[in-house]
Amino acid sequence: MTSASRSPRASLLAYASIAVATRSATEALGPALLLTAIASGRTATEGAVVLAGLMALAALSGPLVGALLDRAAKPGHVIAMSVAALAVVVAAMSVLLPRAPIPILVVIAMLGGLAYPAIQGGLTSQLPSMVSGSMLDRAYAIDASTYNIGAIVGPPLAAAAVILGAPGPVLFTLVLLLCSLVVIRRVPFAVRPHRIRGHSLRRDLVTGFHALGRTTSLAVTTLITTIGHGGQAAFLVAVPLVALKLTGSLAMSGAAFGAEAAGGIAATLLLARRPFRHPDLAVVTMTGLIGLSLGVMAVTTSFTLLVVASVALGAGNGPMITAMFRIRARESAPEVRAQVFTTGASVRTTIYAAMTAAFGAMVALGPHMIFAVGAGLQVAALAGGAIVAKHGTGRALIGKAAVEPAESIAPD
C-alpha cells in the first residue's frame, strides 16, 4: 500500500505504532540480555560482552544499511526483513543464552546488530515519503517521542518479565518484535517505480558519508549532536552512583531515568503541536539546555533537584532530536537521505558507547566530576559548531538553510 492511498494522519498513526513497538523492543533488548544471562547463571560480564557484540555491529553497519535503503525499490521490505532478522536472533538468544559458548553468542548478537540501523535512523528516513509540509514537522516530533516511550516501556517490562523465568526478558522483547511484524504491513512505505541503478554500492557509501558535510547547516548539526550525545553518556553512568550516594538506594536511580524520559515525551508531544520555525537554532538552544542540566547535576547535593534537572535534560534532548531530524531531511537529497539518517545515527551510537566506557573509567573521581565533563562536552559541541559555521562553505549559518532544500518543509 502506498502513501497516496491513505490519509496523512492514517499513515502517521500506522508509522507511530511500528516505531513505538520496535523502539520499545530495542530499548528493552540490552537489559533483557543482561537479565537473562544473570538469571541463567552466567555473569553480568558475559552478558555485557554479548550486548557489546550487538551494539558494535549496529554502530558500524549504519552506512551500509542506509545505502541499501536508498537503492531499494521497496525500502519497506528492507525494514521488514530487518525486524524479522532481529526477531530470529532474539528467539535464538532465548534458547542459547543460558548454555551456548560466549563466542557463538557474540556472533549471533552481531547479526542482530545489522538490523538496528534500519529500525532506528532508517525508519525515520522514510517519513518524507508518507507525509509532507507542516505534518512532516509534527511527524518528526512524534517520531522523536517514540524513543522516550520505548525507554519508559521497554526496560521496566523486560525486567518484570523475569518472573516468567530466566528467558522471560528476552521473550518479552521477541513478542514486541513479532507485534511489529504484524503492524508493519500497514505502514505505507514508498514504492519507487524503478530500482535506483547506475552507481556501485561502494560509490553510494562514499556519497553518503560526504552528504553529512554537504552543507554547513548539516555539518554543524552533525557535529553538535554527535559530541553532545557523547556527553549525555555521563547521565547514564553517573545517575546510579549519585542516587546511591544521596539516597542510599540504587533503585532510586529509576526516578531520575524516568523523569528524563518523561521530560522528553512531554516536550516532543508539545512540539508536535507547535513545531520549531528554526530547527538549526533549536539544536543550539536545546544543547545549551542539556549542558545547563548536566551542570546543575554536577553541583547539586539534593536528589529532588537532580530529578528536576533530569526532566530539563529530557525536555532539551527530545526537541533537539526532532530538530536534528528536520535538518537531515531538509539538507539531504532524496537519493542519499536514508544514508544520512543511518550514518548519523551510527556515528552518534559510536561516540556514545566510547564515552560510556570513558565515563566508566572515571568512576573513581565521583559522579559529580562525570556530570561536569558531560556538561563540558555540550560546551565543546557548541564551540565546534560555531567554528564550522564560521569557516564553512559560507552558504549556511546557524538558523538558516544551507542550500535550496532538497525537499521543502512548509512553515506554520
- State the pLDDT at residue 398: 39
Helix, strand, coil % over all residues of the chain, rounded to 5? 80, 0, 20
Interval 29-54 mean pLDDT = 79
pTM assigned to the model: 0.74
Encode pLDDT of 370-395 as tens digits.
Answer: 999 999 999 999 999 999 888 765 44
Residues whose CB falls within 8 Å of the CB of residue 62, separated by 6 or more in sequence, listed in order:
117, 121, 342, 343, 344, 345, 346, 347, 349
Side-chain-side CA neighbours of residue 34 (13 Å): 12
Residues whose CB falls within 8 Å of the CB of residue 115, separated by 6 or more in sequence, listed in order:
82, 83, 85, 86, 89
Encode pLDDT of 293-344 as tens digits.
Answer: 999 999 999 999 999 999 999 999 989 988 998 898 888 777 777 778 888 8
Question: Residue 233, Cα to own-chain centre: how many angstroms?
Answer: 13
Instruction: Decide if 23 contacts 149 (C-beta within 8 A).
Output: yes
- State the pLDDT at residue 178: 94
Identify the band that residue 216 occupies on the pLDDT scale cut at 50, 70 and 90. confident
Interval 54-64 mean pLDDT = 78
Give the domain ranges of the chain.
1-188, 202-404
Q: What angle do CA 232, 151, 304 make, to 5 degrees?
A: 65
- State the pLDDT at residue 158: 82
Encode pLDDT of 133-168 as tens digits.
Answer: 778 878 888 888 888 788 778 877 887 888 888 888
Encode pLDDT of 83-98 as tens digits.
Answer: 999 999 999 999 998 8
- Does domain 1-188 sit in CATH 3.40.50.150? no
Identify the band that residue 287 occupies on the pLDDT scale cut at 50, 70 and 90. very high
Interval 9-21 mean pLDDT = 86
Q: Which three cell numbers, joined as nine digits, stand for 41?
A: 547463571
Task: Tell me which CATH code domain 202-404 carries.
Answer: 1.20.1250.20
Identify the band that residue 211 occupies on the pLDDT scale cut at 50, 70 and 90. low
Report the alpha-carbon distance of residue 328 to residue 120 in Å, rounded. 14
DSSP state of 398: T
